[in-house]
């Protein structure tokens, strides 16, 4: 047997030993077809999925290459069934092709007639297809291109899309690299997106996803529609684009609840697009307002369902999705892949940290013991009330106060889910509170104050989960969250990971992330689930008792 | 056959010929036809008589190749003849015919009479009419065949219709209904094509053997086929379409599968040791149990069925009654010993059992003739031909050039065709059996990418495959890597004892060559339940982990210990007590607590109407950590006892069966030689009923007459001279020697028990 760094498991997971001399080489070799699932400190887990294998086919790798890679790097014999399965799965890709036909427009064709016959008989697909052209091809309604691809993927016969992309309305966009340069991984990410046509780029929070978006725009040289989560985030995008590219404020429009500008580069919020009036989406025309050459989806893991449907109609336009955490508790990762595109770039958080682009973080779970009376109340509470009861215990306030005191002088965020709890904390700590009810202007004022250092402590609700750029923040204390959401936990930690400037002693900052959990309650169970994503990215949580913190 | 001298000279009877053989040759006969040796025959006439019994003949014919059967068939057509003449009528090289004849004589299917080589009388009937099984379809030649030239001339004279009719009758087996066709007329009076044939004696009356039928004598068929019994050569076995494969792929795939098979067997049985699989009334394994097991292992149900069947064949899985007296499938006591063996040895135990097993696990889930799906481990799920199919498949694969396996697509059909040539007579389900054998061999890891591995070859040759396999299986590792996400990765197969202990404390998440285990509060609690203490767990983890134990895991252990035993359940009254009133409240108010049938009777005391063995697991399911309290109020913590069944007797070793048959042969040989001395002194006539049957069979083979003394229905003792034709079913069919040639009543049936004396004439 060889002494390779890779162990191929029969359940199709691949274990990569990180400290092995060949690990880097092996990582590069398996990256095209295997999905990185977990990257803790010693052994990284990849997984072979049909989707990943088909993406590899789309990128021009064949089954023989995959099998050879596995055999080359595998330390132990590779189960035959797995190799057969890889070959069979990959052989399913490309039997069907979506092509542009000179007279019939978009057609679905196949060299393998039984496969075509099989999918034509699928009920889900019937409505998407037009008339049969000949034995091997059938017309497709152009508007169904995305839906059809999605449905074929579900049937297990993914179509290779040869129909190409529209160039869109040209618009000059250049990166203004004055005093900064594109980081290697950002360039890699932008390029692998561009070669792939469409797809998703996964980078940790604070690693500069906006710049990847800007680089993609510079590649496209076309009018661009950017979809973001909220207005604050839209403003940040605008500022960042003005700073990093040749675009001027006049070329960038904002399309939100308050302002409706359509300019060569338009930034719209998910909220305004998904607003429904009298059963219709009045802002849908935005997608057709210009001949967009590129559509950017920020925080693609949050993409709401209506946007999925709208995106299905935009398959001819290039699309880039940006996210730090492509985990959805609703399990719709597959839709992201089939509608936005496959994952084009992924970097383990710890790798970026090792390169110094994001700050190292110290994650601590603080276990709070409930007093007898609260436990009794908890034990007898209705199941749906339990989490709230456990998460909002008074005990946490004291611990938060101690933690804030310990990190006096370091900009601190207190993050929670429940407004009562947040306002209670705000009063106790004498700190301003930002929730969904806070006006955009007030929010901007408080965030600016925080950035400039006037405000050292903010209590925020989930509005600050995403896309809020607070590079100064060094400490975050999480008191409650939306149940077991893994990506929320990661996004909240992400608020702290902007590296910031080195201090006077040359030391870079170390972020501190505290999460307060009530012992022996559902709070603790949810916390365990929430931490999984980060733990799998190699963030080791320490668990301490509240008494130890206070001592 | 080399190494065995051909029987010299000619013999009066088969018994005589056998008597003249050296021990070595007799031993070969008894090995090839084991049924002749049990029980040990007391002399050579009995041995020869047994060799002529129909069931024994059928069995012997079943083990012949198509070529050998064709030669035998030619001998039946020829009646009695010399080797050289036989060689001239078989479409095969003379060397092949000689070798085949030698093999046939060795099996006592053919013997040298004073008039020439003869097949045993029963052979003609047993050969059947399937051309694929070597039957040419020609009738035996007449006693005094006309010369070929004369026959050719007669055929020349035929009208095209008559010639077509003749060919048709020959191809249809040489028999035709006589109907109104006249026989014995001169050729010029023939009015139909059939009469053209009868008038020229190309079709002849069937006589008493085939009353009312017309037969084409063998010599006519031979002439129509150019002097040979078949048109195609019979000595060419179909070749297997083979192609070479990369050795790296072969070893990797095979060893991967082998390791996987052993691992899955262990997992399967371990699971059933903890919660036994309930058996069906028919003693099989229900669909639901099988599916649950398959899901647990992450395999398809067929694979799980194969695992269970092989484990059962290896004596690792057996059934017993559980506490309620219901039959369940659980690992046997041998399982624990097996678990302690190194991987290679464990695999060999399974592979040997598989090779000898007649079971058909891949049929599980398919519907049987009664439209009911087959269940795993049901007694009927077996085919007697399966072990032979497996052995032959392995032998054929071993005969391919090194590194080659059956070609994709054409390989399997050609393998089936070759096996069909080697054993044409049975079984009818060969295509299925061979396909299954090939697939099962791949799943067991005997073959990789279709190519038989070197250890597979060793197994097929009945050598020890352990050293070959041990050289390629991954060496076990003695450590794990514990990571911050509360997983432990074993970067290779763990040593069995270590694996067992890790599995007590963590859940297996991903299996394969390596293992990924996850620690959860429940898994640690499970460890506590079977007797680990907190400090033992920590010590163990620190010892086996190559990496520092992450702090959250330490904390998790402490937390589990803290929560462990907070609740106590009583055995006698099924009560629940706790100093912790809140915990009790938590339990009673748990949304799913209604299934526990709890009633709170005092602060900190709850009773339940459930028996403890139901209550305990349910409470643990709800996330509590109760401990059991004895009658004296002391907490009882200890290892859970896993169920074990006794290994079933019949599965104790194919090796023993082999040794037994070898011993049997030696006993038979000794008895024969000893009986021989007695037989020399005995008169040639036989008066015991067993002796009578032997003497009659002897006469049949010699085609000689005997005088029999028998008691008729009126109780009168009579004597008669007869030509014995057949001894079967306790009756003798014999032709009265005094009767006319065409007397239909000449053949009579005599019950054997009424025959008191047989004197050869």
Tell me if A77 and B256 make a contact (CB, 8 A cut-off).
yes
The CATH topology of domain A359-550 is Rossmann fold (3.40.50)
Residue-level pLDDT at B269: 92
Residue window 47-106, chain A: list those with CB within 8 Å of chain B: 67, 71, 74-83
CB B736 within 8 A of CB B673: no
Q: Which residue of A has its CA nearest to B512?
A: A9
Residue B242, phi then psi, degrees to nearest 5: -120, 155
User: Do A9 and B255 lie within an 8 Å CB cutoff?
Assistant: no
Average pLDDT of chain A is 84
The secondary structure of chain B in percent helix, strand, coil, rounded to multiples of 5, reads 50, 15, 35
State whether B516 and A540 contact (CB < 8 Å). Answer: no
Choose between B662 and A368: higher pLDDT.
Answer: A368
Look at A535 and B591 and tell me if their CB atoms are within 8 Å. Answer: no
Q: With contact defined as beta carbons under 8 Å apart, do A98 and A145 qualify? A: yes
Quote the crossing angle between the two packed helices B411-422 and B66-78, to the nearest 10°: 40
Between CA B60 and CA A359 the distance in angstroms is 82
Q: Please tell me the predicted confidence (pLDDT) of residue A514.
A: 92
ipTM: 0.81
Q: What is the fold, at CATH topology level, of the domain defined by B689-760? A: SH3 type barrels. (2.30.30)
The nearest alpha carbon in chain A to B511 belongs to A9
Contact residues for B52 (Cβ-Cβ < 8 A; gap 6+)? B14, B120, B121, B122, B697, B700, B701, B727
**Chain B neighbors of A532, CB-CB under 8 A:** 485
Token output for B386: 């399966």
CB < 8 Å & 24+ apart, contacts of A269-276: A269/A227, A269/A228, A269/A229, A269/A230, A269/A231, A269/A233, A269/A234, A270/A227, A270/A228, A270/A229, A270/A230, A270/A302, A270/A303, A270/A304, A270/A307, A271/A230, A273/A227, A273/A306, A273/A307, A273/A310, A274/A304, A274/A306, A274/A307, A276/A306
A204 to chain B, closest Cα gap in Å: 18
Q: In chain B, what residues touch A83 (CB-CB under 8 Å)?
A: 249, 253
Half-sphere exposure of A140 (CA within 13 A, CB side): 26
Which residue of chain A comes nearest to B299, CA vs CA? A11
Which among A71, A365, A520 has CB closest to B248?
Answer: A71
Answer whether B109's CB lies under 8 Å from B119's CB: yes
Q: How many other C-beta atoms can be found within 10 angstroms of the C-beta atom of residue B611?
A: 10
Tell whether omega for the bond before B222 is within 30 degrees of 0, i.e. cis.
no
The answer to whether B516 contacts A9, with C-beta atoms less than 8 Å apart, is yes
Separation CA B212–CA B210 (nearest Å): 6
Query: How big, in percent rounded to 5, are the helix, strand and coil portions of chain A?
Result: 40, 20, 35
Place of tokens 């009479």: B113
Pairing assessment for the beta strands A475-478 and A412-415 based on DSSP bridges: parallel
Q: What percent of chain A has pLDDT over 90?
A: 4
- Shortest alpha-carbon distance between residue A132 and chain B (Å): 33
Query: Which two three-digit tokens encode residue B717?
Result: 């003792």
Which residues of chain A does B547 touch, with a Cβ-Cβ cutoff of 8 Å? 41-42
Picking from B192, B202, B189, B70, the residue whose alpha carbon sits closest to that of residue B136 is B70
d(CA A160, CA A158): 7
Q: Which helix H or strand E contains B460, and what residues bound it?
A: helix B454-460
B chain contacts of residue A349, beta-carbon cutoff 8 Å: none
- Give the other-Cβ count within 10 Å of B730's Cβ: 10
Report pLDDT for A359: 85
- Mean pLDDT throughout A5-15? 89
Residues of A in contact with B512 (CB under 8 A): 7-11, 13, 76, 79
A372 contacts B487? CB cut-off 8 A: no
Q: What is the number of helices (H) and of strands (E) in chain B?
A: 30, 27
- Say what angle helices B654-681 and B343-356 make with each other, to 10 degrees: 50
What is the signed CA dihedral for A35, A39, A45, A46, rounded to 10 degrees? 10
Residue B1: predicted pLDDT: 37
Chain A residues with beta carbon closer than 8 angstroms to that of B487: 38, 40
| Chain B interface, best mutation among A5, A76, A536, by max B CB count within 10 A | A76
**Which residues in chain A are contacts of B548 at CB distance < 8 A?**
none
Q: Closest residue of B to A536, CA-based?
A: B485
Which residue shows structure tokens 């080359």?
A: A72
**The CATH fold of domain A184-353:** Rossmann fold (3.40.50)
Portions of chain A given CATH number 3.40.50.300:
184-353, 359-550
Q: Please report residues of A whose CB lies closer than 8 A to that of B555.
A: 543
What is the reported pLDDT for B308? Answer: 93
Residue A500 has pLDDT above 70, yes or no: no
Q: In a 10 Å sphere around its CB, with 0-12 CB exposed, 13-18 middle and 19+ buried, how is residue A330 labelled?
A: exposed
Is A43 in Cβ contact with B481 (below 8 Å)?
yes
The nearest CA of chain A is from the CA of B694 a distance in Å of 58
Q: Do A77 and B585 touch (CB under 8 A)?
A: no
Most B CBs within 10 A among A34, A80, A535, hence the mutation to make, goes to A80
Q: How confident is the model at residue A1 (pLDDT cuts 50, 70, 90)?
A: very low
Cα(B722)–Cα(B175) distance, integer angstroms: 28
Number of H helices, E strands in chain A: 23, 23
β-bridge partners, B448: B451
**Under an 8 A CB cutoff, do B254 and A41 touch?**
no
Could A376 and B582 be called an inter-chain contact, meaning their C-beta atoms sit closer than 8 Å? yes
Domain boundaries in chain B?
A: 148-224, 242-472, 566-624, 689-760
Question: Is B483 within 8 Å of A41 when comparing Cβ atoms?
Answer: yes
Q: State which residue of chain A sits closest to B592, comparing Cα positions.
A: A383
Decide if A532 touches B, using CB distance below 8 A: yes
Give the gap in angstroms from C-alpha A509 to the nearest C-alpha of chain B. Answer: 22
A45: closest chain B residue by CA: B516
The C-alpha angle with vertex B418 and arms to B416 and B422, in degrees rounded to 5, equals: 115
Which residues, 6 or more positions from B470, have their beta carbon under 8 angstroms from its beta carbon? Answer: B342, B343, B344, B345
- Is B569 in a helix, a strand, or coil? strand
Contacts of B591 in chain A (CB under 8 A): 383
Query: Are B514 and A9 a contacting pair at CB < 8 A?
Result: yes
Q: Across the A/B interface, how many CB contacts are shorter than 8 Å?
A: 135
Interface-testing mutation among B247, B254, B256, B606, with chain A (most A C-beta atoms within 10 A): B256
Contact residues, chain A, for B484 at CB < 8 Å: 40-41, 535, 538-541
Most confident of A110-124, A335-349, A453-467, B353-367: B353-367
Query: Between chains, do B257 and A541 touch, taking CB under 8 Å as contact?
Result: no
Element (H, E) at A201: strand A199-202
Per-residue H/E/C for B190-256:
CCCHHHHHHHCCCCEECCCCCCCEEECCHHHHHHHCCCCCCCCCCCCCCCCCEEECCHHHHHHHHHH
Say yes or no for a CB contact (<8 Å) between A42 and B481: yes
- Averaged over successive runs of 10 residues, the pLDDT of chain B (761 residues) comes to 47 84 88 83 83 87 88 86 85 89 89 85 82 80 82 85 86 80 80 83 77 82 83 84 85 86 90 87 85 87 92 90 84 89 91 91 83 85 87 90 84 87 78 89 88 90 88 86 88 84 87 86 88 88 89 88 68 69 81 78 77 79 78 65 66 66 82 75 56 81 83 83 83 80 74 84 77
**A chain contacts of residue B442, beta-carbon cutoff 8 Å:** 80
pLDDT at position B3: 35
Report the chain A residue with the minimal C-alpha distance to residue B476. Answer: A76
With beta carbons less than 8 A apart as the criterion, state whether B435 and B412 touch.
yes
DSSP B133: G
Distance CA(B701)–CA(B683), nearest Å, equals: 20
The answer to whether the Cβ–Cβ distance between A78 and B252 falls below 8 Å is yes
Q: How far is CA B624 from the centre of its chain?
A: 51
> CATH assignment of B148-224, given 1.20.1440, 1.10.3470, 1.10.4040, 1.10.10?
1.10.10
Nearest chain A residue to B515 by CA: give it: A9
Cα gap B473→B470, rounded to integer Å: 5
The residue among B484, B559, B584 with the most chain A CBs within 10 A of its CB, best to mutate, is B484
């Amino acid at each position: 047997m060889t002494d390779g760094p890779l162990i191929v498991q029969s359940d199709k997971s691949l274990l990569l030993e990180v400290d092995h001399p060949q690990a880097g080489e092996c990582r590069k070799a398996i990256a095209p077809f295997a999905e990185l699932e977990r990257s803790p400190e010693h052994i990284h887990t990849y997984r072979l999925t049909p989707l990943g294998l088909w993406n590899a086919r789309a990128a021009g790798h064949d089954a023989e290459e995959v099998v050879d890679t596995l055999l080359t790097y595998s330390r132990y014999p590779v189960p035959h069934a797995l190799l057969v399965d890889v070959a069979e799965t990959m052989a399913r890709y490309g039997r069907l092709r979506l092509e542009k036909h000179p007279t019939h427009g978009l057609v679905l064709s196949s060299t393998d007639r039984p496969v075509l016959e099989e999918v034509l008989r699928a009920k889900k697909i019937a409505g998407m297809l037009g008339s049969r052209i000949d034995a091997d091809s059938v017309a497709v309604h152009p508007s169904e291109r995305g839906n059809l691809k999605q449905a074929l993927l579900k049937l297990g016969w993914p179509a290779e899309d040869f129909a190409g992309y529209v160039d869109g309305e040209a618009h000059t966009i250049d990166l203004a690299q004055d005093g900064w340069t594109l980081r290697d991984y950002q360039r890699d990410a932008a390029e692998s997106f561009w070669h792939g046509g469409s797809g998703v780029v996964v980078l940790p929070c604070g690693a500069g996803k906006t710049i990847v978006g800007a680089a993609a725009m510079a590649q496209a040289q076309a009018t661009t529609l950017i979809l973001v989560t909220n207005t604050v985030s839209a403003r940040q995008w605008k500022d960042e684009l003005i700073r990093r590219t040749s675009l001027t404020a006049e070329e960038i429009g904002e399309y939100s609840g308050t302002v409706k500008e359509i300019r060569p580069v338009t930034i719209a919020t998910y909220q305004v697009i998904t607003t429904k009036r009298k059963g219709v989406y009045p802002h849908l025309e935005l997608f057709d307002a210009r001949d967009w050459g590129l559509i950017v989806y920020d925080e693609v893991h949050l993409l709401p369902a209506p946007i999925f449907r709208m995106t299905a109609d935009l398959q001819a336009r290039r699309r880039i999705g940006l996210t730090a955490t492509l985990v959805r508790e609703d399990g719709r990762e597959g839709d992201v892949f089939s509608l936005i595109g496959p994952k084009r770039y992924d970097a383990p958080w710890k790798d970026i940290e090792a390169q110094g682009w994001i700050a190292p973080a110290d994650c601590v779970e603080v276990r709070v013991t409930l007093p007898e009376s609260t436990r009794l109340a908890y034990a007898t509470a209705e199941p749906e009330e339990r989490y709230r009861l456990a998460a909002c215990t008074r005990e946490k306030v004291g611990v938060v106060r101690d933690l804030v005191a310990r990190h006096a002088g370091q900009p601190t965020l207190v993050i929670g889910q429940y407004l009562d709890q947040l306002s209670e904390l705000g009063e106790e700590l004498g700190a301003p509170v930002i929730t969904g009810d806070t006006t955009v202007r007030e929010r901007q004022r408080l965030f600016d104050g925080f950035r400039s250092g006037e405000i050292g402590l903010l209590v925020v609700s989930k509005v600050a989960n995403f896309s809020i750029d607070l590079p100064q923040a060094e400490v975050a204390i999480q008191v409650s969250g939306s149940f077991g959401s893994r990506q929320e936990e990661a996004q909240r930690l992400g608020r702290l990971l902007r590296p910031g400037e080195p201090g006077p002693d040359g030391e870079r900052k170390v972020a501190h992330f505290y999460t307060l959990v009530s012992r022996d309650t559902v709070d603790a169970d949810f916390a365990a689930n929430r931490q999984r994503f980060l733990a799998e990215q190699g963030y080791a949580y320490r668990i301490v008792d509240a008494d130890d913190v206070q001592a | 056959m080399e190494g065995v001298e051909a029987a010299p000279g000619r013999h009066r009877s088969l018994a005589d010929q056998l008597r003249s053989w050296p021990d070595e040759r007799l031993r070969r006969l008894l090995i090839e036809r084991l049924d002749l040796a049990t029980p040990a025959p007391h002399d050579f006439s009995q041995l020869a008589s047994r060799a002529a019994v129909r069931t024994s003949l059928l069995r012997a014919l079943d083990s012949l190749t198509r070529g050998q059967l064709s030669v035998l068939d030619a001998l039946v057509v020829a009646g009695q003849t010399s080797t050289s003449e036989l060689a001239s009528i078989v479409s095969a090289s003379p060397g092949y015919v000689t070798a085949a004849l030698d093999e046939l004589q060795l099996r006592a299917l053919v013997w040298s009479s004073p008039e020439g080589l003869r097949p045993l009388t029963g052979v003609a009937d047993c050969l059947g009419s399937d051309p694929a099984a070597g039957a040419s379809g020609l009738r035996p030649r007449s006693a005094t065949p006309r010369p070929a030239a004369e026959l050719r001339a007669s055929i020349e004279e035929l009208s095209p219709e008559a010639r077509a009719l003749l060919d048709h009758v020959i191809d249809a087996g040489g028999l035709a209904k006589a109907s109104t066709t006249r026989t014995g007329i001169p050729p010029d009076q023939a009015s139909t094509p059939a009469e053209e044939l009868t008038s020229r004696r190309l079709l002849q009356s069937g006589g008493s053997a085939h009353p009312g039928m017309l037969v084409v004598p063998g010599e006519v068929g031979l002439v129509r086929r150019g002097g040979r019994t078949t048109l195609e050569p019979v000595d060419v076995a179909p070749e297997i379409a083979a192609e070479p494969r990369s050795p790296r792929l072969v070893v990797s795939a095979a060893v991967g599968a082998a390791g996987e098979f052993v691992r899955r067997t262990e997992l399967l049985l371990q699971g059933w040791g903890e919660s036994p699989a309930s058996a069906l009334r028919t003693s099989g394994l229900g669909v639901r149990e099988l599916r649950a097991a398959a899901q647990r292992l992450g395999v398809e149900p067929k694979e799980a069925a194969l695992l269970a069947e092989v484990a059962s064949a290896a004596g690792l899985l057996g059934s017993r009654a559980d506490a309620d007296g219901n039959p369940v499938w659980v690992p046997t006591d041998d399982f624990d010993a097996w678990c302690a063996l190194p991987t290679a040895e464990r695999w060999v135990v399974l592979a040997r059992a598989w090779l000898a097993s007649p079971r058909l696990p891949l049929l599980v889930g398919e519907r049987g003739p009664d439209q009911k799906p087959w269940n795993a481990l049901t007694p009927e799920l077996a085919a007697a031909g399966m072990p032979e199919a497996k052995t032959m498949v392995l032998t054929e694969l071993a005969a391919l050039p090194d590194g080659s396996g059956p070609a994709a697509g054409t390989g399997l059909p050609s393998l089936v065709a070759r096996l069909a040539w080697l054993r044409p007579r049975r079984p009818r389900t060969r295509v299925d059996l061979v396909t299954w054998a090939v697939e099962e061999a791949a799943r067991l890891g005997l073959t990789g990418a279709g190519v038989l591995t070197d250890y597979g070859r060793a197994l097929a040759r009945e050598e020890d495959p352990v050293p070959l396999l041990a050289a390629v299986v991954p060496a076990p590792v003695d450590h794990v890597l514990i990571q911050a996400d509360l997983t432990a990765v074993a970067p290779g197969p763990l040593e069995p004892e270590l694996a067992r202990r890790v599995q007590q404390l963590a859940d297996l998440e991903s299996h394969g060559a390596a293992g990924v285990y996850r620690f959860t509060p429940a898994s640690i609690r499970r460890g506590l339940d079977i007797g680990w203490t907190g400090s033992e767990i920590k010590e163990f983890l620190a010892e086996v982990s190559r990496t520092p134990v992450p702090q959250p895991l330490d904390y998790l252990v402490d937390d589990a210990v803290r929560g462990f035993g907070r609740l106590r359940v009583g055995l006698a009254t099924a009560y629940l007590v706790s100093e912790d009133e809140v915990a009790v409240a938590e339990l009673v108010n748990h949304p799913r607590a209604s299934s526990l049938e709890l009633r709170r009777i005092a602060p900190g005391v709850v009773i339940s109407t459930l028996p403890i063995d139901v209550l305990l697991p349910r409470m643990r399911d709800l996330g509590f950590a109760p401990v059991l309290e004895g009658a004296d109020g002391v907490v009882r913590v200890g290892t859970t006892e896993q169920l074990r069944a006794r290994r079933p007797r019949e599965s104790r070793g194919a090796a023993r069966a082999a040794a037994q048959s070898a011993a049997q042969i030696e006993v038979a040989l000794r008895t024969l030689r000893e009986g021989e001395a007695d037989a020399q002194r005995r008169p040639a006539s036989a008066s015991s009923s067993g002796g009578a049957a032997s003497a009659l069979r002897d006469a049949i083979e010699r085609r000689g007459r005997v005088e029999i003394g028998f008691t008729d229905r009126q109780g009168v003792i009579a004597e008669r001279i007869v030509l014995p034709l057949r001894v079967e079913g306790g009756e003798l069919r014999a032709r009265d020697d005094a009767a006319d040639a065409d007397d239909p009543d000449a053949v009579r049936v005599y019950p054997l028990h009424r025959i008191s004396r047989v004197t050869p004439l």
